Amino acid sequence: MSAPKKLFIKTYGCQMNVYDSERMAEALGGEGYVETKSPDDADMILLNTCHIREKAAEKVYSELGRFKGLKAEKPDLKIGVAGCVAQAEGQEIMRRQPLVDLVVGPQSYHRLPEMEAKAREGEKVLDTDFPEEDKFEKLKNRPKAKRGPTAFLTVQEGCDKFCAFCVVPYTRGAEVSRPADRILREAQDLVERGVREITLLGQNVNAYHGAGPNGDMTLAQLIWELDKVDGLERIRFTTSHPNDMQDDLIEAHGTCAKLMPYLHLPVQAGSDKILKRMNRAHTAESYLRLIERIRAARPDILISGDFIVGFPEETEADFQATLDLVEEVKYGTAYSFKYSTRPGTPAAERPQVDPKEADDRLQRLQALLTKQQREVQDSMVGRDVTVLFEKAGRFPGQMVGKSDYLHAVHVADCDRAIGDLARVRILSSGANSLAGALID
């Protein structure tokens, strides 16, 4: 019996790429591959790329350059580039880095087994189509190995919003939602393998409109179906768009016990002028009123957000409007970035903000967001939360898990196992985590 082939996958970017990497490993697992943590041991290397960050393509080419020596030592080693940079760059990747054997876009990775077979025969293989078939259904079933207590589950892909700064509509395609029955089957399978918390993923996850037994379902309706799955204890979703936050989803936050009190709802800026130039199709005021409605439904909900500073034509007054919005919302956590151009997007052709000014604004925004995050964490001290334990801590008898609000919580003298849920009283707040003690 021949030894299994070894697969090394490096994943960049968002949770959807993490999910995609799992599925790519499963697709190639059916062809005899097992995963390895080192590229030095691999028979195939896959870079699952993201195109959101600055100079994303150049970082991929730099990473590929590191494999030249390894390829020379192991001529049979196959190297592939997957994901959004693969979609955007296509054939150019093979032209600039001839060591690459295959390039596959995010909508075609179910074709990896056929592509790998061709690469083994010496062909250079490219697939960046947006195929008609459902890539999730075409993949082999997940192997029935035990899973950790949390898992991602993609329910929606693509984006129709065409924000002026974003390449996602071009690399992931139009919005597509998976049928509800397929999602429910996958969720049940995950639970049977030990998963207790599922995070539903989508570029605009709350735009979900997958086919159900009586017509298209909303995300809230899907959540209520998942609520019926025995053994599934927690449900989360990300990432949402303010314009798709429907009434039934807001209501679900107040009435569905399994839906956790955490919501990532990007706003990007607090200036209406900048929001319009971003093509966000909402205003600062409409966003603030939406937050009010969500908090009325679930007063303890923790709000997370995304921000871009230094967007083309942003003035100091525009930036101050963002600071004002942050002060009003009071975020529990947030992600903030300096604007960087993406070739082919409308914003790339507009007058750019001075980089030093953008750097200064980012530092000021991050200081405010860090202050708010610390205040929210400090406010948890003395409160009782439910923690899902995910791993052992650094010290004997210590366990680490996530609270309802997605805070990392360390518990000493803990007799619980990975996958257990327990009530914990928060005793102290650190820089990025909380410490507590079991109370039941």
Residues contacting residue 177 through CB under 8 Å, at least 6 positions apart: 155, 156, 202, 207, 208, 209, 210, 211, 216
Asked if residue 5 lies in contact with residue 44, where contact means CB atoms within 8 angstroms, the answer is yes
Quote the pLDDT of residue 341: 83
Inter-CA distances, 118 with 15, 125, 135, 341, Å: 29, 7, 19, 36
The closest alpha carbon to 175, from 190, 189, 162, belongs to 162
Task: Decide if pLDDT at 14 tops 70.
Answer: yes
- Which helix H or strand E contains 60, and what residues bound it? helix 56-65
Q: What is the pLDDT of residues 330-366, one digit of tens each?
A: 999 999 999 988 777 888 888 899 999 999 999 999 9
CA 65 – CA 323 distance, rounded (Å) = 41
**DSSP, res 36:** -
As a whole-number percent, the residues of the chain with pLDDT over 70 amount to 94
For residue 257, give the DSSP letter: T
pLDDT of residue 82: 87
Q: What is the pTM of this model?
A: 0.82
DSSP letter string, 342-360: -TTSGGGGSPPPPHHHHHH
Kindly state the tokens that stand for 59: 């970082």
Give residue 83's pLDDT. Answer: 81
Q: How far apart are CA 400 and CA 411, in angstroms?
A: 6
Q: Would you state the pLDDT for residue 53? A: 61
Where exactly are the structural domains of the chain?
A: 5-127, 135-379, 384-438
End-to-end CA distance of the chain: 51
- pLDDT beyond 90 at 291: yes
d(CA 100, CA 64): 8
CA atoms within 13 A on the CB side of 119: 27
Q: Helical H runs in 152-233?
A: 168-171, 180-192, 219-226
Please tell us whether the domain made up of 5-127 is placed in CATH 2.60.40.10.
no
Whether residue 233 contacts residue 258, with contact meaning beta carbons closer than 8 Å, is answered with yes
Q: How far is CA 192 from CA 152, 155, 291, 309, in A?
A: 15, 19, 36, 44
Of 126-130, 134-138, 386-390, give the lowest mean pLDDT range: 134-138
CB 260 within 8 A of CB 406: yes
pLDDT of residue 93: 87
pLDDT of residue 108: 80
By residue count, the chain amounts to 440
The CATH architecture assigned to 135-379 reads Alpha-Beta Horseshoe (3.80)
Residue 59's pLDDT band (cuts 50, 70, 90): confident
Binding residues: 14, 50, 84, 159, 163, 166
Q: What is the pLDDT of residues 181-208, one digit of tens each?
A: 999 999 999 999 999 999 999 989 999 9
The tens digit of pLDDT for each residue in 136-187 reads 665 545 455 667 899 999 999 888 888 888 777 767 778 889 999 999 999 9
pLDDT in tens, 85-118: 887 788 888 888 999 999 988 778 888 888 888 9
CA distance linking residue 20 with residue 14, whole number of Å: 10
Q: What is the pLDDT of residue 19?
A: 83
Helix or strand holding residue 389 (H, E): strand 384-392
DSSP tag of 259: B
DSSP string, 73-91: H-TT-EEEEEEHHHHHHTH
Omega into 239 within 30° of 0, i.e. cis? yes
DSSP strands (E only) in 291-371: 302-309, 333-338
Per-residue pLDDT at 131: 57
Alpha-carbon distance of 81 to 108, in angstroms, equals 12
> Among 118, 154, 150, which residue's Cα sits nearest to residue 139?
154
Average pLDDT, the chain: 90
Q: Report pLDDT for 63.
A: 86
Tell me the binding residues for [4Fe-4S] cluster: 14, 50, 84, 159, 163, 166
Buried b (16+ CB within 10 A) or exposed e, 67-84: beeebeeeeebbbbbbbb
pLDDT for res 395:
92
**What is the average pLDDT across 45-55?**
76
| CATH 2.40.50.140 at 384-438, yes or no | yes
